[in-house]
């Protein structure tokens, strides 16, 4: 597995997003199967595993902690705080909470669940408008000084917030949704990351599965699957957006690859400090995703993709409004 850097942190070129094993995409995966899949990813050279206290809440961190405990020193664990979740009970209250005392309490819970004495990369999951980002960054600086956190990151933050936080303590990574059909970070966030030497971690690099080519207008989603209420996943939007997948299929045919591999290879080709974190619940999909590292897109391939995608408007917002309002602050 090739390596890349998030700031000073070296990780595998493709990571593993663990959320879907227990949250967000329908019923949770069997615990034994989830542990086996996480360990299989590590065995194939993946070194960065992404989770969050909100995934469950708590259940995903517990799964990741158990799976990686035997190989803890060989991997990088990234997790997130920021929603208003009771650190003891897991009760989820409306809105955000990044008050310094809450961050510290949340971190103690994360350390217990992850079965570790340090978190390699800790993100603020969403920027809290009620708490100055300087206070959050200062709290992270304290946790890093104590050895409980090694690297600091932000998720779904805007360029000015990134600059303010970075001035208090250097950021290693920004995590936001980014893929060939979700290009929001390109205008301001990616240039800011490049200027400041911050790595970028695209979540949902396969468009919640749509860019794999395995979803069409007739696909149905469980009520516990986020996509059942996502604007981009209404039957009408899916029907319109299939044109995007057709472009990926055409390029994939030329490269002897799959649409998913082309979508990931496109991200890897954007910048050397971009590390996508696709998730999956299936071993053969894990192997498919990791195979993207070996797919080389030529400058002409990239131009063809850009030209074709520019002609196809994406139908539907990337997230429901009640979630989107917490992004790009």
- Catalytic site positions: 55
Can you give the C-alpha Rg of the chain in angstroms?
A: 19
Class of residue 248 by CB neighbours under 10 A (exposed 0-12, middle 13-18, buried 19+): buried
Q: Residue 74 gets which letter from DSSP?
A: G
Of 311, 287, 280, 312, give the one whose Cα is nearest residue 24. Answer: 280
Contacts of 274 (CB under 8 A, 6+ apart): 4, 178, 199, 200, 201, 202, 267, 268
Contacts of 20 (CB under 8 A, 6+ apart): 29, 279, 280, 281
| Rounded CA separation 260/59 (Å) | 28
Class of residue 93 by CB neighbours under 10 A (exposed 0-12, middle 13-18, buried 19+): exposed
Which helix (H) or strand (E) covers residue 322, if one does?
Answer: helix 321-324
DSSP character string of 96-111: E---HHHHHHHHHHHH
Asked if residue 182 lies in contact with residue 155, where contact means CB atoms within 8 angstroms, the answer is no
- To the nearest 5 percent, what fractions of the chain are helix, strand and coil? 45, 15, 35
Of 6, 54, 20, 279, give the one whose Cα is nearest residue 153. Answer: 6
Asked if residue 203 lies in contact with residue 123, where contact means CB atoms within 8 angstroms, the answer is no
How crowded is residue 3: how many other Cβ atoms within 10 Å of its Cβ? 11
């Amino acid at each position: 597995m090739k390596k890349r850097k998030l700031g000073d942190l070296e990780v595998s070129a493709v990571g593993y997003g663990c959320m879907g094993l227990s949250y967000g995409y329908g019923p949770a995966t069997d615990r034994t199967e989830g542990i086996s899949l996480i360990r299989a990813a590590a065995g194939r050279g993946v070194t960065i595993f992404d989770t969050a206290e909100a995934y469950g809440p708590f259940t995903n961190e517990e799964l990741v902690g158990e799976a990686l405990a035997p190989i803890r020193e060989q991997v990088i664990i990234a997790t997130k705080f920021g929603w208003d979740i009771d650190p003891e009970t897991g009760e989820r209250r409306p809105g955000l909470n990044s008050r310094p005392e809450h961050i510290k309490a949340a971190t103690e819970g994360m350390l217990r669940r992850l079965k570790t004495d340090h978190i390699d990369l800790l993100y603020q999951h969403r920027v809290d408008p009620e708490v100055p980002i300087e206070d959050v960054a200062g709290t992270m600086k304290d946790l890093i000084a104590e050895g409980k956190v090694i690297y600091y990151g932000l998720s779904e933050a805007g360029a000015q917030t990134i600059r303010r936080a970075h001035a208090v303590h250097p950021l290693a990574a920004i995590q936001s949704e980014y893929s060939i059909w979700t290009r929001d970070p390109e205008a301001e966030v990616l240039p800011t990351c490049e200027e400041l030497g911050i790595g970028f971690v695209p979540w949902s690099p396969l468009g919640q599965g749509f860019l794999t080519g395995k979803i069409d207008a007739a696909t149905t989603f469980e009520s516990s699957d986020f996509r059942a209420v996502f604007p981009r996943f209404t039957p009408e939007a899916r029907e319109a957006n299939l044109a995007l997948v057709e472009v990926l299929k055409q390029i994939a045919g030329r490269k002897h690859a799959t649409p998913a591999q082309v979508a990931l290879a496109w991200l890897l080709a954007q910048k050397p400090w971009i590390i996508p974190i696709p998730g999956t619940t299936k071993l053969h999909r894990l192997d498919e995703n990791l195979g993207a590292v070996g797919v080389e897109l030529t400058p002409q391939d990239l131009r063809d993709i850009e030209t074709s995608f520019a002609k196809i408007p994406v139908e539907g917002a990337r997230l429901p409004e009640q979630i989107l309002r917490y992004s790009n602050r």
